[in-house]
Amino acid sequence: MKKTRKVYVGDVAIGGGSPISIQSMTTKETKNIKEVVKQINDFEKAGCDISRSAINSLEDARAISEIKKRTNLPFVADIQFDYKLAISAVENGCDCLRINPGNIGGADKVKILVEKCKEKNIPIRIGVNSGSVHKDMIEKYHGVNVDSLVYSALEEVKVLEDLDFHDIVISIKSSDVNTMIDVNRKISSLCDYPLHLGVTEAGPLYQALVKSSIGMGSLLKDGIGDTIRVSITGDPLQEVKAGKTILKSLGLRRDGIDLVSCPTCSRTSVNLDEIVNEASDRLDKLNLNLKVAIMGCPVNGPGEAKEADYGIACAKGYGFLFKKGITIKKVKQEEIVDSLIEEILKDEKNEN
């Protein structure tokens, strides 16, 4: 992993060799405190590390203090255009600002905001995407491309650096995966600020999962990236689950159940999809660090999943429960998931 500066968002460290954090964003109006609190607390239960909310009014900004009282995750205030909203968000206890200094107001207003952030030890995340590239950069680099995106971000960074402010996180996003990969490789080579990775406007679930996995996975594998958000149109809890899976797949996060299952073939004689979905729902509720395999047939199942801590190899009307590739019992088909969960909980109880 590339060594970047360490920035604290609340009690979560970003960069400097810290664990890669997962972020998501609330979808309710921030002034609707009860709804936002529920979303943030659901994020936390799912494994999210940092939550972000749009601040579109002073009422939204003033709601932050009450939201903070009822939640544990660091709160990032996402501000566009109005520096007064940013000032109010800081005064009401946000843990980080997401802004573009270039569109928040004139130099005098940016200076006021930066001084307020220094006073409260609040970091600033600079966000640049295809829709916010500076016009002069578009002209200089002949369109919206890797160079115009990167140097727009660095221009925003310089505004803060000139005010002796360095608690900065950089985010450069694109809906094009290749562009997203290239801009983050380039910005990583030009500065040591921590990077927030994401594919913006990634689309509905399947499309977003594929785009984000390719984009983030390529960078994270090479040690680039310090915090992530998997943008998905729909339920933001899916973003958290996807982020955890990406990090676990790369060996960058180890908390929670890692569930593997076979793609099925003509040897499969059970509704494996139904069994896997039920097991996934129930395993998600267990706060354990385990690998679990559910295989569609007893021919290759135990052997293929021998690295799993627990597993089931299904057959017509029954299943074989195994641990570390060794079969320990035969169970009825309707008892497959129950038996799996019971065995895990029994062993966990004995260990404790």
Known binding residues are 262, 265, 297, 304
CA angle, 133 then 50 then 21, to 5°: 85
Element (H, E) at 156: helix 146-161
**Residue 346 main-chain phi, psi, to 5 deg:** -65, -45
- The helix (run of H) or strand (run of E) holding residue 293 is strand 291-295
Write phi, then psi, for 8 (nearest 5 degrees): -105, 125
Cα torsion 213, 41, 290, 317: sign: negative
CB atoms near residue 119 (< 10 Å): 9
258 and 292 Cβ atoms separated by less than 8 Å? yes
Query: What whole-number distance in Å separates Cα of residue 320 and Cα of residue 297?
Result: 9
Taking the CA atoms of residue 9, residue 13, residue 15 and residue 16 in that order, the dihedral angle to the nearest 10 degrees is 140
Task: Please give the span between the terminal C-alpha atoms of the chain, in angstroms, as a whole number.
Answer: 35
Q: Cα–Cα distance between 247 and 120 in angstroms, integer? A: 31
Q: Tokens in use for 319? A: 């299943």
83-91 and 107-120 helices, crossing angle to 10°:
10
- Nearest Cα to Cα of residue 257 among 308, 306, 303, 295: 308
Binding residue ranges for [4Fe-4S] cluster? 262, 265, 297, 304
- Give the distance from CA 187 to its chain's centroid: 20
